[in-house]
Amino acid sequence: MFMLKTSIAGLSLVTALGVAQPALAQVAGATTTMGVTVTESTRFAMGWSVKKTLMGKPIYNDAGQRVGKVEDLIISPDKSVSYVIVGAGGFVGIGRHDVAIPVTQIQDQSGKLVMAGATKDTIKALPAFDYASDTTTRDGFVANAEKDIAKGHAKLTDLEKKGAAAATDAKVRIDAQIVTLQGDVKAAEGKLAEMKTATANRWKEFEAGVSAATARVRKSIQTAIG
């Protein structure tokens, strides 16, 4: 019998399928909680095929009742599988009710996926799983880009002051640095404006361009000694 192995600190779901958990939302992209913090340090057992063995496959309890089916897998930052998302709405009779189950709870018993101890009451008591909005990540990315651009403007002001008071040779060098930095800042502002005008769900399409542009701004700031 294969078993998906995991090391999940602080989560007592091994026995919690018989104990009701606090009704907190489970969200992908955020810390998954059932009243406690989860440390995602899991390892995916060799020999499992996601397509052939897991995705869309039914899951049963140890009484032979169909609990639901595998809707998705959640991959932790260390590239290992942490949770199986189980669509259990039909089993509990409350419409759609997806729950995140630690991989330790799903066993392959002679080709059948089994979640031992699962009952309608225990699954219904688990918080419904939902996917995190990408808004927070986008907002953080925009804020960092705006900081780089603001630093570029501040450096331009500093260079202009130094250039006004510099001797001829130094002024030529500073003016060249100003031109370069102005171009980089303008390009970064343009790339960021493109991303902001796009729909929220398309911001990733512009991420690489904005990142490259702000990297050039940072480099120009570092090399512009003045």
- Of 164, 157, 123, 146, nearest to 17 by C-alpha is 123
CATH architecture of 135-223: Up-down Bundle (1.20)
CATH number for the domain formed by residue range(s) 8-131: 2.30.30.240
Q: How confident is the model at residue 16 (pLDDT cuts 50, 70, 90)?
A: very low
**CATH topology match: 8-131 vs 135-223:** no
Lowest mean pLDDT among 35-39, 80-84, 85-89, 203-207: 35-39
* φ, ψ at 138 (rounded to 5°): -60, -45
Distances (CA, A) of 213 to 3, 67, 120, 140, 171: 47, 50, 53, 17, 26
- Could you report the per-residue pLDDT of 69-93, keeping only the tens digit for each? 888 877 765 656 577 788 887 877 7
Q: How confident is the model at residue 10 (pLDDT cuts 50, 70, 90)?
A: very low
Q: What is the mean pLDDT of residues 53-76?
A: 81
pTM of the model: 0.45
The DSSP H or E segment spanning 144 is helix 135-165
Helix %, strand %, coil % of the chain (to 5): 45, 20, 35
| Sign of the alpha-carbon torsion through 167, 168, 174, 175 | positive
Partners of 107 in beta bridges:
3, 114
> What pLDDT is attached to residue 157?
95
- Could you report the per-residue pLDDT of 107-159, keeping only the tens digit for each? 888 888 888 888 888 888 887 777 665 677 888 899 999 999 999 999 999 99
| Cα angle 206-208-211, degrees, rounded to a multiple of 5 | 105
Q: Provide the residue ranges of all domains of the chain, joining segments of one domain with +.
A: 8-131, 135-223
